[in-house]
Amino acid sequence: MSAHSDAAASRPGRWQPAVTQDPLLRKHGAQGSGALGQPVSRIEGPLKVQGKARFAAEFPYEGLCYAALAFSTIPRGRITALDTAAAEAAPGVVLVMTHRNAPRMKAPSLMMSSPTAAGASDLPVMQTDEIHWNGQPIAVVLAETQEQADYAASLVTAGYAPLPAVTSFDEARKTPRQLDNILGQPPVVEIGDAEGALKGAAVQVDQIYRTPRHNHNAIELHAATVAWTGDELRVHDASQLLDLTAGQLADIFGLEADKVRVSSPYVGGGFGGKCLWDHQILACAAAKLAGRPVRIMLSREGVFRIVGGRTLTEQRVALGASADGRLDALIHTGIAAMTAHNSCPEQFTFPTRHLYAAKSVRLAQEVADMDMLANTFMRAPGESVGTFALECAIDELADKLGLDPIELRRRIEPEKDPTSGKPFSSRHLIDAYEKGAERFGWERRSKAPRQRRDGEWLIGMGCATATYPYHRFPGGAARIRLTAGGQVTVSTAVHDMGMGTATAQVQHIAARLGVPLDNVTFEYGDTTLPRGVIAGGSTQTASIGGAVIAATEVFVEELLKLAGNDSPLAGLSLADVETRDGGIGHRDDAARFESYESILRRAGRGELVCEAEAPPPAEMEAFSMHSYGAQFCEVRVSEITGEVRVSRFLGSFDAGRILNAKTATSQFKGGIIMGIGLALTEETNFDPRTGRIVNASLADYHVPVQMDVPAIEILYTDIPDPQAPMGARGIGEIGITGVGAAVANAVYNATGKRIRDLPITLDKLM
Amino acid sequence: MNPFSYERAADAAAAIGLAKGNAAARYLGGGTNLVDLMRETVERPEMLVDVTGLPHGIEPRADGGLLIGASATNTALAADSHVRTHYPLLARAILAGASAQIRNMATVGGNILQRTRCRYFYDTAAACNKREPGAGCDARDGFNRYHAILGASPACVATHPSDMCVALAALDATVHLDGPDGPRSIALADLHRLPGDRPDIETELKPGELIAAVEIPPLPFARRSTYRKVRDRASYAFALVSVAAALDLAEDGTVRDVRLALGGVAHKPWRASAAEAALKGRPANPESFRAAAEVELAAATGLRDNGFKIELAKRTIVAVLGDLTGDEA
Ligand SMILES: Cc1cc2nc3c(=O)[nH]c(=O)nc-3n(C[C@H](O)[C@H](O)[C@H](O)COP(=O)(O)OP(=O)(O)OC[C@H]3O[C@@H](n4cnc5c(N)ncnc54)[C@H](O)[C@@H]3O)c2cc1C
Ligand code: SF4
């Protein structure tokens, strides 16, 4: 009904980011708000356990055919021969699509380069004979069954004219490149003369840390079911990027934006990987060519070949400190592998931009171009591996200073953001450390390494800081629909990849509108709904919050209008009222109240529908906003074999208000488990001779299994961030940050060995 | 996966009859390895002869040994009370392998004949002499953390991945075969070959032969036996190095007899005969254990990624033997 505008923003009672607080933060005890923070079980849980939740590869269509891909086996060059005859003749084959017969399509554009850009790469998809990475799709086979398609795809053979390719990082790093920005931030930050200060410092740490490539391995394989009706395209996707995917597909196929509908109600894990990759584009193209609906589900190998992951990094952290543990110099520089057609440089210097106070700072990161699959976001891109380097170095410094590592962090705790100079919106890192330390029994840690053992097993403890930025994406909208029966439906094209978005939003909406949980429906996962934001960067909850706040304001204003002069609310405006007990009431006068149902009934209305867009994220401009945490780890390391077992883990977080204790705890734990993989087992084996990923299977790419994961305890401060909608800062990614360092620091405490090269495999400790 | 026909054999004779003369026929156990390889198009059989209907009994013999039908599942064998009491190293080896779900499907015959996990063998885009004789070996100078340190050849540096077989090798198990030319038996230790210049020929099986049963002779001192597997994560990973051992101590604390076999180190389960010989009559102490380990691994050589396994194997041998000398072993 009314979209956001600046004039509206200044109306009294409206939430003005950075100026006023979300009114929900003032609300106490109103009916419904009690649900906020409660451990409500996932609302879609029963559907999932009954197998009734339909995932992208489960939508039936009349005449559906199944797709399989054939992949290139060289990293760079041209296809000189492509033999598809055997595949075409194989049983059940509908067609084979290659660059020779694929429909002409525009190339995707790099994410963030335009409002509809969703590409991890801007290379054209199956339009030419050019090969840009080992594993690039060279043919799509459509067949009547998946088995037939898979078999036929194995019969496609290709000949190549290879071109020189850069597939060795050592080679690539000889010609580093500096980007003009790192996700909108300057690639270089200099405060004072950090190198000079380092040289003059009383105590110094100066080390190189290395982190390997990682691949996405969500349990649900990437999949899409697509169907054309005339020039209308319907895509059932596994997506954390609905509106962008629809917009980008429209661009690629030259369609009006409203001709593409993408939906994704359930996703079996995203972590940054369930975005737009070649498979959705190829499925749409093949469906067009065949004139039939197509289902594509990548094999596990296919996910390794065409879905990017976290790139490798080599980082230098150098710390110069005074004898009493203040930082004179803080240096964090390094290089990450990237491609020329990608915009994901793994922003590992980001945590160092705000974590600690230092007299001089130097941060710089570069990229080394390689011929490989495009990088992408993978849970806490940048922070996950950046905190490994930084937090190991801090531990090394504490050791040299003879200080407890928590005490060192107390001494370098900044009062304001050390590089931007902005005030923190809310920062309780030291609180998180203290609570965590007490609960974990940190005082039992021996100061010197190699002091505790149980038979052959050396025991050690380590800690590290976790952090992840707060972001709120602009552009999201929400629609509220109220029925005469008091049922509320809030709709926006957002995503729930299993993290509990819908559940937390139902709680949020119940609290905000003052209605019982059972009266609330949250509609999401479909581009026919009001435009949503992406589920990435731990931003979605806050971004939805911003849109729901704006829609609620319109909703209340509309209801006040409908209530008219015969209501106890007569004469009141947005600024005077709050939503409570299934209606609207005067903030300071319990008697002035009218229920939603009564207002609608008196106005003769069957329903009320309002929609609004979130106000721009001015809070991010005014404040330094981040979540924090303290990770505590205990390990056992075999003195004989070097095997490392994490025996206890505790994460203590300061992530603003927690909306659902159960789903939030699961998010934190899931992040920590992924962090244990990052610390100990995960590594993509990228063969520098061929640029090919060698361990493209879950048998050989080691994610942690049940026995690698100890009981994990989660604490959180639950202190609302005054600048964030609902006071909540986003929790999806912070869990993985700091884990690599906490494990490595514990390994040091156990063994006296510093491993600065992930993963910490047993050979490094023998 | 290519199209294939599927037949279920009621007994060994039927199975052999179905597969006879058909080079593109394969016996199918639980399929946990063969079907994976078919999905990767490494194996392209035209006919599968399901042998899970063949005998799967686990029967103690009059002499105190054990006869195991080839179709016994890995789970059943590990859970068998005779095995757990008399051959604990075997139960432990099986339980150290794969996952409960896979062990429920996997058969004894299939476990013995499972193929290497070398990733270049699995990736048809790579050069692999085992898959395609004469093509070359991408593992030699590639990712070879899981590869052999003993008995490898320039043609192939792959390992045999089974845990169960390491225990069977230590126990002097015999494999009973049946085939177009009738039944015969072979020591498990002789069944698998070293790669030499024909890594594609992995066992001494003749065309059309199948495994009918495995027999373990009595070994009273195997009550004091164990299996230790060292790997990259706590479970569900193949061995970097594993050690199966049984120890018989004399009253005076010397080694009266010992059985020792290594996994994860060679193209076959590696019976450590040289170490065994070096141990007999020696005092059961870390010095003797280390000396024996040195003897066994004297000829070991490391590749780009796996040199650490030489020392790891030595240390694991010493640790396992040390555990077996302890009271609670
Ligand atoms: C992810 C994963 C992890 C694993 N981890 C481990 C591990 O840690 N340790 C370990 O030891 N193993 C591990 N395994 C391997 C597992 O033990 C084998 O796959 C299994 O034992 C094979 O048995 P099967 O009955 O399924 O054999 P199949 O796959 O049916 O057959 C394997 C081979 O044996 C042949 N064959 C089967 N039965 C007979 C017979 N009676 N006579 C002649 N030929 C026959 C088949 O033709 C085929 O060549 C793992 C497997 C997987 C998939
Ligand atoms: S080691 Fe053996 S199996 Fe592996 S690539 Fe070389 S020849 Fe093939």
Are residues A422 and A511 located together in one domain of the fold? Answer: no
Same domain, A525 and A377: no
SS3 A316: strand
Residues of A in contact with B119 (CB under 8 A): 685, 694-695, 697, 700
Q: Is B290 on the interface with A (CB under 8 A)?
A: no
Domain membership flag for residue A736: yes
Quick check: is A457 in a domain?
A: yes
**Residue A192, domain member (yes or no):** no
What are the CA-CA distances from residue B80 to residues B72, B94, B319 (Å)? 11, 12, 27
Number of domains in chain B: 1
Provide the CATH number for the domain around residue A534: 3.30.365.10
Distance B106 CA to ligand 1 centre (A): 6
Taking the CA atoms of residue A451, residue A455, residue A456 and residue A461 in that order, the dihedral angle to the nearest 10 degrees is: -40
Please tell me the residue having the least CA distance from ligand 2 atom 2.
Answer: B156
Q: Are B155 and B267 in contact (CB under 8 A)?
A: no
pLDDT (0 to 100) of residue A740: 98
User: Could you tell me if A658 and A731 are in contact, meaning their C-beta atoms sit under 8 angstroms apart?
Assistant: yes
Direct distance between the N- and C-terminal alpha carbons of chain B, in angstroms, rounded to an integer: 47
What pLDDT score was predicted for residue A9? Answer: 53
For the CA of B147, the closest atom of ligand 2 is 1
Phi then psi for residue B90, to 5 deg, are -70, -45
Which of A640, A692, A704 lies at the smallest CB-CB distance from B315? Answer: A640
| Rounded alpha-carbon distances, angstroms, from residue A276 to A125, A240, A249, A308 | 12, 9, 9, 11
- Residue B145 CA to residue B139 CA, distance in Å, equals 9
Q: Is A212 a member of any domain?
A: no
Return residues 111-170 of B near A (CB < 8 Å).
117, 119-120, 122-126, 138, 141-143
Mean pLDDT calculated for residue range B112-121: 98
d(CA A763, CA A496): 40
The H or E element spanning position B105 is helix B100-105
Within 8 A of A761 by CB-CB distance, chain B residues are: 232
Residue-wise pLDDT tens digits, B218-266? 999 999 999 999 999 999 999 999 999 999 999 999 999 999 999 999 9
- Whether B311 contacts chain A with CB within 8 A: yes
Flag whether B121 is in a domain.
no
Whether A641 and B312 lie within 8 Å, measured CB to CB: yes
Residue B176 falls within a domain, yes or no?
A: no
Instruction: Tell me the sheet residues that pair with A336.
Output: A313, A367
Residue B12 lies in a domain: no
Q: CB count, 10 Å around CB of B327?
A: 4
Structure tokens at A381: 């891109």
Number of structural domains found in chain A = 3
**A237 and A155 co-located in one domain:** yes
For the segment B186-209, what is each residue's pLDDT rounded down to a tens digit? Answer: 999 999 999 999 999 999 999 999
Element (H, E) at A329: strand A327-338
**Domain co-membership, A335 together with A455:** yes
Task: Find the domain containing A79 and state its range.
Answer: 63-164+220-268+274-306
SS3 string, A623-678, reads CECEEEEEEEEEEEEECCCCCEEEEEEEEEEECECCCEHHHHHHHHHHHHHHHHHH
**Rg over CA atoms, chain A:** 27
- The reply to whether B246 falls in a domain is yes
Distance (Å) from the C-alpha of residue A531 to the closest C-alpha of chain B?
41
Question: For residue B271, what are the domain limits?
Answer: 225-325
Specify the ligand 2 atom closest to the Cα of B126: 5
Q: What is the pLDDT of residue A414?
A: 98
Identify the DSSP state of A574.
G
Do A365 and A493 lie in a common domain? Answer: no
* B143·A704 Cβ contact <8 A: no
CB-CB under 8 Å, B311 with A641 = no
Ligand 1 pocket: which of B6, B37, B112, B113 to mutate (most atoms <8 Å of CB)? Answer: B113
Per-residue pLDDT, A31: 43
Q: Which of A641, A685, A687 sits opposite B230 (nearest CB)?
A: A641
| ipTM summary value | 0.97
Ligand 2, residue B116: give the atom nearest the CA: 3
- Output the pLDDT for position A3: 46
Q: Which two tokens stand for residue A704?
A: 């942690």
Within a domain: B208 = no
> Is A243 domain-assigned?
yes
Sort strands A65-71 and A294-297 into parallel, antiparallel or unpaired. parallel
Same domain for A262 and A120: yes
**CA–CA distance, B211 with B54 (Å, rounded to integer):** 10
Same domain, A544 and A459: no
CB distance B329 to B224 below 8 Å: yes
CATH number of the domain within which B285 lies: 3.30.390.50
CATH number at residue A72: 3.90.1170.50
Sheet of A294-297, strands arranged across: A93-97, A137-143, A65-71, A294-297, A223-229, A232-237, A260-263
Residue B265 lies in a domain: yes
Whether A207 maps to a domain, the answer reads no
Cα A450 to Cα A459: distance, rounded to the nearest angstrom: 7
Residues of B in contact with A702 (CB under 8 A): 232-233, 237
Q: Split chain A (766 residues) into runs of 10 and give each run's mean pLDDT.
A: 50 93 77 76 96 97 98 98 98 98 97 92 97 98 98 98 98 96 96 98 98 98 98 97 97 97 97 97 98 98 98 98 98 98 96 98 98 98 98 98 98 98 98 98 97 98 98 95 97 95 96 95 98 93 96 98 96 95 95 97 97 97 98 98 98 97 97 98 98 97 97 97 96 97 98 98 98
- Which phi and psi angles does A142 have, rounded to 5°? -110, 135
Contact between B293 and B314 (Cβ < 8 Å): yes
Strand partners, B66: B60, B216
A634 and A534 assigned to the same domain: no
Look at residue A197 and tell me if it is in a domain.
no
pLDDT (0 to 100) of residue A32: 47
Q: Which helix (H) or strand (E) holds A480?
A: strand A477-483
Structural domain contains residue A169: no
Q: Which of A141, A694, A707 should be substituted to probe chain B, the one whose Cβ sees the most B Cβ atoms within 10 Å?
A: A694
Instruction: Indicate if A733 belongs to the active site.
Output: yes
